[in-house]
Amino acid sequence: MKKTLALLLALIMALSLAACGGAPAASSEAGNEPAAESQQESKEESKEESSAQPASSEEAEPAAEEGPIEINFVAAQYSDATEAYMRKVVEAYEKEHPNVKINLEVIGWDSISTTVNTRVANKQAPDLYNGGSAGEYIEDDFLYKPEDILSDELIADFYPTFWKNNIVPGLGEVYQIPYVASVRALYCNKKIMDEVGVKPPKTWDEVRDVCAKIHDFYNGDVYAWGIDASSTEGQTTVAYYCWSNGGGYVDADGNYILNCPANVEGFTYMKELYDNGWTNENPTSETRDDLQKLVAADKLAMLVTACFFPALYPDTELYISDIPYNDKTQSSSSTLAVQDALIFFNENAKATTDSPEKLAAIADFCDYFYAPENYTPFMIQEGLLPATISGAEKLAQDDPEKAAYMSVLEGGKFYARSKPNWKDCSTSCADAAQNVLTGMQTPQEALDEAQAVVQE
Amino acid sequence: MDARIRKKPGIARFEAYLWMLPTLTLVSVFVLFPVLESVYMSFSKVSKAGIIKSFGTLDNFRYVLKQPVFPRVIVNTVVWTVLIVLISIVISITLAIVLNERFHLRRITRTMLLFPWATSGFITACVWKYALDYQYGSVNALLIRSGLVKKNINFLGNADSAFAWLIFVGVFVTVPFMTFTLLSGLQSISVDYYEAATIDGAGFWDKLFKITLPLLRPAINVTIVLNVIYCFNSFVFVHTITGGTPAHRTDTIMTYLYWMAFSKGNYGAAAAISVIGFIVLLIFSVIYMNVQMKEETA
């Protein structure tokens, strides 16, 4: 009997493993604490006020019968200052529009997707969400098309490059709008480069030459080149080493080409840099943040990273240059442009219907948020770039140095994030880079495997 | 005995069930329901947002079994579990025997041994992650300052060494609980046996193999089963220290499951992995308990 009981006990405990699979557990909601008094200017072009009719939303926490229209907004945290700034904007908007209440929730990147997906699964999706991509929700028909709810003026204000990048292949529709943008460039530690007497390299051959000189000068004590093939940024290896060789994630028709010869050559070049001892020791686990710290600590000379890097380490003097390219196959460099998106959940992902007044309020709030006087200071604070033409014009006035990035951004290439299985591609690229760098697979084998995954 | 005599009147008959109700409720809500939900999800078509679209498919299992890295993940999980439990049991038996002896500062030593177990797993994992860091790790700093090495060692640089360190950390946190379980088993062994053996001329090894270990066997069995389940389900150490890198070479079932759900967004496949893990544990539990029952009845 005792043995049977012991067996049963063991089985019950084993069951707990199975309980770990499935949908993510709900995260606790952050409270909407009152923020400091708004310092934002009100929008000049006042839109037509939306009706004061309250939305009969069950998701509204207050039980007031004639309460304001509630808009739930889940936003990603870009820095410690993100929430404070967003609250100022929201409070200023609410002051001007007493019939609207924005339930703002700012969540860190590590848990925002889990939190929102849990709510979506429970039909409690937010109205606005910045932190995921439309590709995850299109098949469930959970999203509004921005063109159906936003103002024509706002739609027209987005850079055409961004808008085009958001068109879903095969559907020809747009389900997300750009929220923030950034570009990647080669950042070189000025002190190291000057000591060695080298300039930022433009081509692959120049990279080899500069790396060898830095390595020899410091006898290997300073890394010449930084590679981030960690699980969070591993997909960038295709952008950094394959675009610059004519390869990439997809071809002109949007078909995956992960194992094309140009990509194989790009990965071979990356492995060569690593095998020569010119790079950081642990590229499969050292993240962008780790490497940026090494540049700031004068231990790493060159790193391809995002344009907000200089703002994080203002005391570090840097040379900024284009991502080096293979001049034997390409005539110029390719820049990785990254945009985070804002999506709008429709009634299929919520327990209640959205009244026309609520949709009008969402559109009006978006007009307010993207107004240059609100949007551009937010971008400057976060070290990011605006995705609107009006925002870029204001950036040119307020921060001319950063505005120079805008021309780069316009010509930049984007991730294929609008493809529904982008996550498969992203994780497969990271896996491939890790397999190559650790010598477990050749570039051809690793990229063949990645291609097989995205084609499943 | 007449059954009527044992029968309790009225509500008292349900007393036992009432006492069990809180536990049954908790188990139902936090274990049984998620288990059933996971099993249901594993046999369903699930969208990228985690919505179950239709039931009755084996696609999730086919997908998981087709992943080139999955056999490695299973092997990792088995190696991780077996090595941690085996190494820990040897160390723990030794420590339990030592701590069962009378010596100066025994109480403080016993208390100190509890620290790694009492500390949060996440904090322990973070401490070891930074201790083993290639650039700034304290282990490297210690080795260099003591003159044992001249250059930093890349402890987590490749899959094999990283996995070996993960097992080390696993042993570090497993030994305290195991030791105390075995110590309580040792304390229940009557000193009469040892006194009689001493009179008969038995030495230390005779007493160890003919008295201590046989009488400690029930405690060892419980410890092994509990720790196999605990290690198999362990998540935080691998996730925090290596995150499964490089390319899942240090992943166990639990971290791979997490990656599948939250990095890849494939909730159906993640549920299938959890069911496969459950089956592996079920097989172990049945085999182990059967072997034990046979040995005890032999």
- The number of distinct structural domains making up chain B is 1
In A, minimum Cα distance to B253 occurs at A17
**Residue A28: C-alpha distances to residues A31, A262, A344, A402, B122 (Å):** 9, 46, 22, 37, 19
| CATH number of the CATH domain containing B206 | 1.10.3720.10
Cα separation, A270 vs A436, whole angstroms = 9
HEC sequence for chain B: CCHHHHCCCHHHHHHHHHHHHHHHHHHHHHHHHHHHHHHHHHCEEECCCCCEEEECCCHHHHHHHHCCCHHHHHHHHHHHHHHHHHHHHHHHHHHHHHHHCCCCCHHHHHHHHHHHHHCCHHHHHHHHHHHCCCCCCHHHHHHHHCCCCCCCCCCCCCHHHHHHHHHHHHHHHHHHHHHHHHHHHHHCCCHHHHHHHHHCCCCHHHHHHHHHHHHHHHHHHHHHHHHHHHHHHCCHHHHHHCCCCCCCCCCCHHHHHHHHHHHCCCHHHHHHHHHHHHHHHHHHHHHHHHHHHHHHHC
Range of B100's domain? 69-297
- Asked if B267's CB is within 8 angstroms of A12's CB, the reply is no
pLDDT band at B106 (very low <50, low <70, confident <90, very high): confident
Name the CATH topology of A182-338+417-455.
D-Maltodextrin-Binding Protein; domain 2 (3.40.190)
Residue B262 lies in a domain: yes
Write down the ipTM of this complex: 0.79
> Please, which residues bridge with residue A184 across strands?
A306
| In-domain check, residue B60 | no
**Contacts with B, A 271-310, CB within 8 Å:** 281-282, 284-285, 290, 294, 299
pLDDT for the residue A373:
95
A437 touching chain B per CB within 8 A: yes
Within 8 A by CB and 6+ apart from A395, the residues are A376, A379, A380, A385, A386, A402, A403, A406
- The domains spanning A67-181+339-414 and A182-338+417-455 adopt the same CATH topology: yes
Residue B115 lies in a domain: yes
- Structural domain boundaries in chain A: 67-181+339-414, 182-338+417-455
pLDDT band at B72 (very low <50, low <70, confident <90, very high): very high
* Helices A261-275 and A422-437: angle between axes, nearest 10 degrees: 40
User: Residue B195's pLDDT is what?
Assistant: 92
Q: In the prediction, which pLDDT does A29 show?
A: 34
**A24/B262 CB distance under 8 A:** yes
CB atoms within 10 A of CB B196: 12
> Chunked in runs of 10, what are the mean pLDDT values of chain A (456 residues)?
49 48 39 31 34 35 62 92 95 95 92 87 92 86 95 94 86 92 93 96 96 96 95 91 93 91 97 96 90 95 92 91 91 86 94 92 97 94 91 90 77 82 91 94 96 88
pLDDT digits (tens, 9 = 90+) for B92-105: 999 999 999 888 88
pLDDT at B9: 67
B295: number of Cβ within 10 Å: 10
Query: Which residue in A134, A110, A173 sits closest to B49, CA to CA?
Result: A134
Among A16-30, A144-158, B108-122, B227-241, the range scoring the smallest mean pLDDT is: A16-30
- The angle at the Cα of B184, spanning B183 to B190, to the nearest 5 degrees, equals 95
User: What are the residues whose beta carbons fall under 8 Å from the beta carbon of B1, sequence distance 6 or more?
Assistant: none
- The mean per-residue pLDDT over the stretch B12-20 comes to 84
Contact between chains at A21 and B242 (C-beta distance less than 8 A): no
Query: Is A21–B257 a contact, with Cβ atoms under 8 angstroms apart?
Result: yes
Q: What is the pLDDT of residue B8?
A: 64
Residues in CB range of A45: below 8 A, 6 or more apart = none
Distance from the Cα of A388 to chain B's closest Cα (Å) equals 29
CB atoms within 10 A of CB B98: 13
Q: Using CA coordinates, name the residue in chain A closest to B51.
A: A121
Tell me the Ramachandran region of residue A22: left when phi exceeds 0, alpha when psi lies from -120 to 50, beta otherwise.
left
Q: Which residues of A323-359 are buried (b: 16+ CB within 10 A; e: fewer)?
A: bbbbeeebeebbbbbbbbbbbbbbeebbeeebbebbb
Question: Residue A13's pLDDT is what?
Answer: 46
* Residue B96 falls inside a structural domain: yes
Q: For residues B250-276, give the mean pLDDT.
A: 93
Residues linked to residue A350 through DSSP beta bridges, in sequence order = A124
Q: Under an 8 A CB cutoff, do B246 and A6 touch? A: no
Give yes or no for a contact between A75 and A131, defined as CB atoms under 8 angstroms apart.
yes
Q: What backbone torsions phi and psi does residue A287 show, to the nearest 5 degrees?
A: -90, 175
Q: How many CB atoms lie within 10 A of CB A307?
A: 23
Alpha carbon distance A184, A382 (integer Å): 15
Contacts of A432 in chain B (CB under 8 A): 247
Topology adopted by domain A67-181+339-414: D-Maltodextrin-Binding Protein; domain 2 (3.40.190)
Contact A228, A215 (CB under 8 A): no
Residue corresponding to tokens 């369903």: B44
Q: Cβ–Cβ of A15/B35 closer than 8 Å?
A: yes
The whole-number pLDDT of residue A228 equals 95
What is the structure's pLDDT at B7?
62
Helix (H, G, I), strand (E, B) or coil at A336: strand
Residues of B in contact with A435 (CB under 8 A): 246-247
Judged by phi (left if over 0) then psi (alpha if -120 to 50, else beta), residue A363 lies in: alpha
Whole-angstrom Cα distance, residue B42 to residue B273?
A: 8
CA atoms within 13 A on the CB side of A216: 9
